[in-house]
Amino acid sequence: MKVTINDVAKHAGVSIKTVSRVTNNEPSVKQVTIDKVNSAIKALNYQPNLAARNLAGTKSYVIGFIYDNPNAYYIIDMQNGILSACKDLGYELLIHPCNSTAANICKELTDLVKHNRLSGLVLTPPLSEDPVILAALDEIDANYVRIIAGEKVDTNNGLAVLVNDRSGAISITQHLIDLGHKHIAFLSGDHEHASTKERLAGYKQALTNNQLSINDDFIIDGKYSFESGVQGAKDLLKQRTRPTAIVACNDEIAAGALFAARLEGVDIPAEISIVGFEDSPFSRQTWPKLTTVHQPNEEIAHIATELLIAKRKDKPAQLGKVFLPEPVIRDSTTQVRG
């Protein structure tokens, strides 16, 4: 049976990406890690895929943007940020939407890299957080940068630009608490996105920090969509004890919640304050305009692309960057009554 890069990673006790970085002689890998990987390669008699290595070394000036996300505003911001970096650095951009849950997604993406001789990929959630997809890309030594939710750059897992969603959720929930709200609900996004878990964790942490109880009935599962926000708000409004504030996992959900509340004759923000996340156009197109958390998606995408191209050119580069989202206070929140 042919020995794969996955076998080497398991034998050495490191990630597949780390094995790839060692075999490609990338900088910033600790010597002890290099020794472990080389020892595993020798013990297993691992032979790297020469075709993939040749592919990786072929000069190319095309960056691929791979995404599976229903939020058009997010995609446009990402596209604009990547494109601006590509133009600055003399690269072209190939845009490829896909279904991250499709049975053949790994083959689709590896074929895309091979057939288009891509210099690198910019991956956004949930693709950037899927270990199976990442392993398939590592197997062909694909060059990529991940945009993910997180708090700290892990230099052993390759290039990544992180958004500290947990911190942003703590800040926006604290804003509501400072306004006197004690009964605060949470409308969730898709659970396959790490951002959902991080934002929920931040919401819970803010409540705990202020000695407020966490009411499981106030945490509503959902999707990153307007319709999900509508349904989530309806579910909350049916409860015997209504929340006085709602933290929505993104602005689209928040806009849907605001719409549903107004249909029920609920005054926003006098009766219920609502906040979103991401500071997308949804937050400025509602009435009242949404208090939210600013996430500079264009800048995030631009920097991710710069890091990717710098690595491709074998220039010294950061292995990542962390963005700290900040609250933007508008008209959808106010002091709690009574």
**Domain coordinates in residue numbering, the chain:** 1-48, 50-163+297-324, 165-295
pLDDT tens track for 204-259: 999 999 999 999 999 999 999 999 999 999 999 999 999 999 999 999 999 999 99
- Average pLDDT for 118-135: 94
The answer to whether the 50-163+297-324 and 165-295 domains have the same CATH topology is yes
Q: What is the pLDDT of residues 162-197, one digit of tens each?
A: 999 999 999 999 999 999 999 999 999 999 899 999
Assign 3-state DSSP to the chain and report helix, strand, coil percentages, each to 5.
Answer: 50, 15, 35
DSSP character at residue 214: -
Task: Using pLDDT thresholds of 50, 70 and 90, give the confidence band for residue 7.
Answer: confident
Q: How confident is the model at residue 70 (pLDDT cuts 50, 70, 90)?
A: confident
Tell me which CATH code domain 165-295 carries.
3.40.50.2300
pLDDT digits (tens, 9 = 90+) for 246-287: 999 999 999 999 999 999 999 999 999 999 999 999 899 999
**Rounded to whole angstroms, how far apart are CA atoms 62 and 312?**
11
CATH class of 1-48: mainly alpha
Mean pLDDT of the chain: 90
Cβ(140)–Cβ(108) below 8 Å: no
pTM of the model as a whole: 0.80
Residue 246: CB atoms within 10 Å:
31
pLDDT at 110 over 70: yes
- Write the CATH number of the domain with boundaries 50-163+297-324: 3.40.50.2300
**Measured on CA atoms in the order 6, 9, 14, 18, is the torsion positive or negative?**
negative
What's the token pair of residue 59?
């000069």
